[in-house]
A = this chain, B = another copy of it.
Amino acid sequence: MLLYDSAVSGNCYKVRLLLAHLGLPYERREVSVVDRSGRLELLGGLNPGLRVPTLVLDDGRSLGESNAILWHLAQGTGYVPDDEFERAQVLQWMFFEQYSHEPYIAVVRFLVAVSPSTADEREIGPRMRAGYKALDAMERHLAARAFLVGDGYSIADIALYAYTHVAPEGGFELDRYPAINTWLARVAGQEGHVAIAA
Contact = CB atoms under 8 A, between A and B. Distances in A.
A99 B96 contact: no
The bracket for how many chain A residues form the interface is: 35 or more
For the complex, would chain A's binding face be called helix, strand, loop or mixed by DSSP majority? helix
Contacts of A68: 88-89, 91-92, 94-95
Q: Say how many copies of this protein the assembly contains.
A: 2
A137 B48 contact: yes
Interface string A77-116: 0000000110111011111101110110000000000000
A6 to B, nearest CB: 16
Nearest to A67: B95
Nearest to A48: B137
A99 B64 CA distance: 12
Residue among A50, A94, A138 with the most chain B CB within 10 A? A94
